[in-house]
Amino acid sequence: MVDVADEETLREQLVEQYIHVERIGLNELASGNLSVRFGDNMLISPSGATADNIAPDTIVECSLEGEWEGDRKPSSEWRMHAAIYQKNEKTQAVVHTHSDYCVAMASNLKPLPGFHYLVGSFGGTDVPCVPYSTFGTQSLGDDAAEALTDRSACLLGKHGMIARGRNIKSTVDLAHRLEIMCRQYVLACRVGEPEPLTDEEWAEFFDRAQKVAYGKFI
């Protein structure tokens, strides 16, 4: 049984981070969605949520099979969130955004290559991009969940990005970092195609990363 106080805290954190995500430019209007695991269910931002209308009592408790009670509907992307929670037991939070540079990369169906060592902070030598699927579909959810098997974030073809993490704040930070890395890659490409790190350089990075704070890849 989940403690009611914990539920109130999670709802407040979701609202705080939803507003923060818009404040830092990762989402605009009613795009994107955030959720946290809640026992066997999840708490997820409602359909049509914006930074102006979201509140703790608008957050929807939804089962991983898509069942909920009340008048408010969960985000249309609940299937993608549910698929990730089902595929990755360690995942405690999911953040989906339509941030500008992630969308720019995803619109070209391009993964983010390992041009910079911090790409490795997402768990591998690149950040994959899944094929395009219509929003809100099971195929999109399944593709995203599969891509996140050994990554903490991925791009969604012609759509945006999604990240998973241990709590909602750190997962928003991952989404923010991916937007920064995509922006820096686009800027680097104006000079020329950046050379990716070599296998040897990646091996050294991951060895070193296990000894510092950002080395614990989910």
Q: Nearest to residue 112, comparing CAs of 164, 143, 157?
A: 157
| CATH code at position 176 | 3.40.225.10
* Tokens 């990554």 found at: 151
Task: Taking the CA atoms of 146, 163, 120 and 193 in sequence, report the sign of the dihedral they define.
Answer: positive
DSSP state of 194: P
Known catalytic residue at 77: yes
Specify the pLDDT at position 210: 85
Burial 116-140 (b: 16+ CB within 10 A, else e): beebbbbbbbbbbbbebbeeeeeeb
Q: Which of 77, 179, 195, 200 is catalytic?
A: 77
C-alpha 127/C-alpha 65 separation (Å) is 28
Strand locations in the chain (E): 33-38, 41-44, 60-63, 93-97, 129-130, 153-156, 160-165
Domain of 141, in residue numbers: 4-215
Q: How far apart are CA 70 and CA 202, in angstroms?
A: 49
Here the tokens at position 29 are 């209007």
What's the total number of domains in the chain?
1
* The predicted structure's pLDDT at residue 216: 60
pLDDT of residue 64: 98
**What pLDDT score was predicted for residue 115?**
98
Per-residue pLDDT of the chain (218 residues; tens, 9 = 90+): 455 559 999 999 999 999 999 999 999 988 999 999 999 999 999 999 999 999 999 999 999 999 999 999 999 999 999 999 999 999 999 999 999 999 999 999 999 999 999 999 999 999 999 999 999 999 999 999 999 999 999 999 999 999 999 999 999 999 999 999 999 999 999 999 999 999 999 999 999 988 876 556 55
Q: What distance in Å separates the CA atoms of residue 23 and residue 19, rounded to the nearest whole number?
A: 6
Distance (Å, whole) CA 120 – CA 162:
16
Nearest CA to 78 out of 65, 90, 92, 87 is that of 65
**Nearest to 151, CA basis, from 178, 122, 126:** 122
